[in-house]
Amino acid sequence: DAGITQSPRHKVTETGTPVTLRCHQTENHRYMYWYRQDPGHGLRLIHYSYGVKDTDKGEVSDGYSVSRSKTEDFLLTLESATSSQTSVYFCAISDIGGLETQYFGPGTRLLVL
Amino acid sequence: SQQGEEDPQALSIQEGENATMNCSYKTSINNLQWYRQNSGRGLVHLILIRSNEREKHSGRLRVTLDTSKKSSSLLITASRAADTASYFCATDAGANNLFFGTGTRLTVIP
């Protein structure tokens, strides 16, 4: 998985609780992305980062925030988890930019009860 | 939605046969990519084809792009059981990020 780790790999939480997912890369790539994957929807972009402290919203950003204080780490926070945020979350990285090849992490399965 | 649409949604073939899956998209693109996802794993990049290219090969993979029809096809020749996976196309749709389709689920029967 190209030097990308995600933690935790599985999480069960309750509605209303905050949740933070971590993506860590060892490739020194500039761009990092958070996607969610749901049946019937494919992958949808939540947020992305184009450098340290530089982030922007994706297609489905409501209810999510991100932070990137170091090149290697990109955090995704669900401020108050809802059942609709039950999903598989993937982190991806790219050295050139969003139009070029992206390398994906192994994913985090999140269940919000 | 700006995402590509793969067709068929599911495909089942015998080992050794060729598998063809298609992707249609809605707006002009700079490039189109194909990814594979094995069950429970992250996506793996297979091939990228730029808007000024019509065909590209990588091992047993052949990708074509027809920008006039806004469509692409992925051909896997001499399929193997290990090719069993979901295959996704991704386009930029003129934006700075990728938009993924919902995928074709390929099953190769040994």
Given A4, A41, A103, which is nearest B102 (Cβ)?
A41
| Percent of the residues in chain B that have a pLDDT greater than 70, as a whole number | 94
pLDDT for A65 beyond 90 = yes
Question: What is the structure's pLDDT at B3?
Answer: 67
A85: closest CA among A44, A33, A31? Answer: A44
B17: closest CA among B95, B87, B83, B93? Answer: B83
| Percent of the residues in chain B that have a pLDDT greater than 90, as a whole number | 78
Contact A104 B44 (CB under 8 A): yes
B81: closest CA among B98, B106, B63? Answer: B106
Question: What is the structure's pLDDT at A98?
Answer: 62
pLDDT for A1 beyond 60 = no
pLDDT for B2 beyond 60 = no
Lowest-pLDDT choice from A40-54, A99-113, B1-15, B18-32: B1-15
Q: Which of residues 16-75 of B touch A (CB under 8 A)?
A: 30-31, 33, 35, 40-45, 48
Using a CB-CB cut-off of 8 Å, the residues of chain B touching A35 are: 100
Partner B contacted by A95 (CB < 8 A): no
For residues A64 and B26, give the distance between their C-alpha atoms in angstroms, rounded to a whole number: 28
pLDDT for B37 beyond 90 = yes
Given B45, B95, B103, which is nearest A101 (Cβ)?
B45
A74: closest CA among A52, A97, A46? Answer: A52
Read off the pLDDT of residues A26-37 as tens digits, 9 standing for 90 and up: 999 999 999 999
Question: What is the structure's pLDDT at B9?
Answer: 93
Partner A contacted by B102 (CB < 8 A): yes
Between A64 and A97, name the one with better pLDDT: A64
CB neighbours (10 Å) of residue A98? 19
pLDDT for B13 beyond 80 = yes
Average pLDDT over residues B80-102: 88
What mean pLDDT is reported for chain B?
Answer: 92
Given B42, B95, B101, which is nearest A107 (Cβ)?
B42
Q: What are the phi and psi torsion angles at A83 (to 5°)?
A: -60, -30
Q: What are the phi and psi torsion angles at A84 (to 5°)?
A: -70, -10
Partner B contacted by A34 (CB < 8 A): no
pLDDT interval class at A99 (50, 70, 90): confident
* CB-based contact B89:B101 (threshold 8 Å): yes
For residues B26 and A50, give the distance between their C-alpha atoms in angstroms, rounded to a whole number: 26
Question: What is the structure's pLDDT at A42?
Answer: 85
Helix (H) or strand (E) holding A103: strand A103-104
Question: What is the structure's pLDDT at B27?
Answer: 86
